[in-house]
Chains A and B, each alone.
Chain A
């Protein structure tokens, strides 16, 4: 009896719950959020959701956008490309006009094709892979910055803040570090710096004496190392042992306390790291308000820059809708491409978007390691 009757009834019951899950349609502006609510990146997905729930509540309390309430539809892609394609189709079926997401580039890519075909405005807060905007999708934007912008920032930082004329660049042959090193070299030369040293170490190397000797002989003002934190720690330690006085700057792969642990605090003190800032270090009134509201609502500050970036994605969509008095994705995309210039965003000024949909400018900042071995925001930053 149990098997034949009870089990099917339970199953049917579950199905019914599922089918009645969709609510009635009102005259609202539907905006989708796609992100990893479960899985390895669940922390970031929850940050997306928190940020957007808060902003949508604020907007609705203030009367909505163009007099219409905003309805946020959240879908979980678990950071996985298959689930991403599925939830993207769910959002298309739910008739959203714009989607914010996904978190990682691997999940954003299949979804972006589906949104492109459905003609939906798609803004990713955090997928930085260069290839995403090379497909000619007219309604795809990102409010984060491409990987190559860090190279520009590092070159500017060394020139403007450190006053360097002759710089060295060192990478570790990994795809990411090599790419960043090449971009930095390109921008450094464009800015008129001399790249007096450009070389690579291998990811397994432990003894850097030969390469450090070359760096010492090259008479450099600063060296930018784009590799990962453990080797950065060893480099700093051995550099101090050899008595080098050159200024070290690390990329965001070095932004890890392990680097200080390996190098020792006295060798790491005064070393710079270029990276995306923590939300609390964003020195703009809009960012400070976001962080304060977030803390008031959820009891903790947002730890990830991508949380505030998700808010920025919503912000950009809201501004476009208010300025064009429209929710038509084509009109919104047109506005973002051509007319949105120098708007104060949550994450600093939004200079605009280029024809591919990439945000202009950069968000990277320089941190310095203080006498206690902590990363603190450096008081001088290059011009934006």
Chain B
């Protein structure tokens, strides 16, 4: 298959990038509030997927409790808003910091674990957070009912009430996220993550402080999930411990793995498959959840590397098969 038109696009990335951004900006205009909310939710999960991609994709660490940090961010924003009356936008930095801090505290002692052992510990942490929220820890999380009555965010006198405002709000943060991720991917740190993922011992021998870079992946990824949580709280205004349930973590994990581990476009496709399509299949009623199972089985048979694998992985494959002159 001739891929020349594709490579032409690759040479001028700004062309399709600005096209995509324009598409994302225009997308909600012809849609009704329901589809705007679906779009909002998709973008939010892309953000969550990208944050988890830092940990799972770049650094190659199994994190199956990511929803806990999402919930921590949402609860931080909600508690600051409800208890101290801080406007929601001002709680965003606190949400990021709290989630990142917990990411640091939790992962510092378990960083030497690998693969399935790490996965078990992260699952356990996710459950601990959920149960702590259910049990109304410190009397501020509202127990199983969660917290409600979170004030809608305001900016320059504009109240974020309509779904379309929230869509643009998450889109704004998503663009920042993607920009940051692209920079990170090609930074010294991004390359260090790659080496650690491929061969930790060799990376250490090369002079990379593996503990530090792995910790940084967790802290950054957790903080980012915290921001997504705060954005969620701003839109729904009611939060419950269900945010931290295991199924949420699994959805985030699948977004990263199905789309193609370590790949930003892969996360987009993963979020479309895991979040948008099941929502659009709502009229199928009870058969809706069957879609997820079927896709996963088909995916694992047809494309185990993901729908849009990381370009770096692809390039490596191409180079090994047909080296450039």
Binding site for B on A (CB under 8 A): 2-3, 7, 14-15, 17-18, 21-22, 37-38, 75-76, 80-82, 85-87, 89-90, 92-93, 105-106, 109-110, 113-114, 117, 129, 131, 175
Contacts and interface: CB of A to CB of B under 8 A. Distances in A.
A2 B299 CA distance: 12
Contacts of A75: 282
A87 B41 CA distance: 13
A75 B285 CA distance: 9
A2 to B, nearest CB: 7
Given A7-B302, A15-B280, A82-B236, A109 B148 contact: yes
Interface of B: 32-34, 37-38, 41, 136, 143, 145-146, 148-149, 161, 163, 232, 235-240, 242, 277, 279-286, 289, 291, 298, 302-303
B34 A106 contact: no
B236 A90 contact: no
Contacts of B280: 15, 18
Contacts of A17: 284
Contacts of B302: 2-3, 7
B148 A18 contact: no
Contacts of A93: 32-34
Contact of A80 (B161, B237, B242, B286): B242
A279 B303 CA distance: 53
A277 B290 CA distance: 37
Nearest to B242: A80
A18 B283 contact: yes
Nearest to A118: B33
Contacts, number: 77
B283 to A, nearest CB: 4
Contacts of A105: 145, 148
- Closest 10 A/B residue pairs (Cβ): A21-B283, A89-B34, A81-B238, A89-B33, A109-B238, A90-B34, A106-B240, A3-B302, A93-B34, A81-B236
A21 B280 CA distance: 11
Given A15-B280, A18-B284, A38-B289, A82 B148 contact: no
Contact of B240 (A76, A81, A113, A175): A81
Contacts of A15: 280
Nearest to B295: A11
Contacts of B143: 175
B314 to A, nearest CB: 15
A86 B34 contact: yes
B148 to A, nearest CB: 5
Contacts of B284: 17-18, 21
A7 B236 contact: no
Contact of B237 (A2, A3, A37, A110): A110
Given A14-B277, A75-B282, 10 more contacts: A18-B283, A21-B284, A76-B285, A82-B232, A86-B41, A90-B34, A93-B33, A105-B148, A117-B161, A175-B136
21 contacts: A7-B302, A14-B277, A18-B283, A18-B284, A21-B284, A75-B282, A76-B285, A81-B146, A81-B236, A81-B239, A82-B232, A85-B37, A86-B41, A87-B282, A89-B163, A105-B148, A109-B237, A110-B237, A110-B238, A131-B148, A175-B143
A21 B149 CA distance: 35
B276 to A, nearest CB: 11
A105 B146 CA distance: 10
Contacts of A87: 282
A110 B236 contact: yes
A105 B38 CA distance: 22
Task: Label chain B's interface by main secondary structure.
Answer: helix
A18 B38 CA distance: 15
Nearest to A108: B238
Nearest to A111: B238
A131 B242 CA distance: 20
B34 A92 contact: yes
Nearest to B239: A81
A16 B316 CA distance: 38
Contact of A86 (B136, B161, B279): B279
A93 B145 CA distance: 28
Given A106-B145, A129-B145, A86 B238 contact: no
Contacts of B37: 85-86, 89
A14 B281 contact: yes
Contact of A7 (B149, B242, B298): B298
Nearest to A89: B34
Given A21-B284, A86-B34, A131-B148, A113 B289 contact: no
Nearest to A105: B145
Contacts of B239: 81
A191 B47 CA distance: 57
A223 to B, nearest CB: 26
Contacts of B240: 80-81, 106
A28 B279 CA distance: 27
Contacts of A80: 240, 242
Most chain B beta-carbon neighbours within 10 Å: one of A87, A89, A114: A89
A97 B136 CA distance: 38
B201 to A, nearest CB: 36
A22 B280 CA distance: 12
A87 B242 CA distance: 18
B194 to A, nearest CB: 27
B325 to A, nearest CB: 29
B238 A22 contact: no
B78 to A, nearest CB: 12
Given A14-B291, A82-B236, A86-B279, A92 B145 contact: no
A245 B237 CA distance: 49
Contacts of A38: 286, 289
B237 A86 contact: no
Contact of A18 (B145, B235, B281): B281
Contacts of B242: 80
A175 B281 CA distance: 39
A113 B303 CA distance: 43
B295 to A, nearest CB: 9
A175 B141 CA distance: 12
A129 B238 CA distance: 13
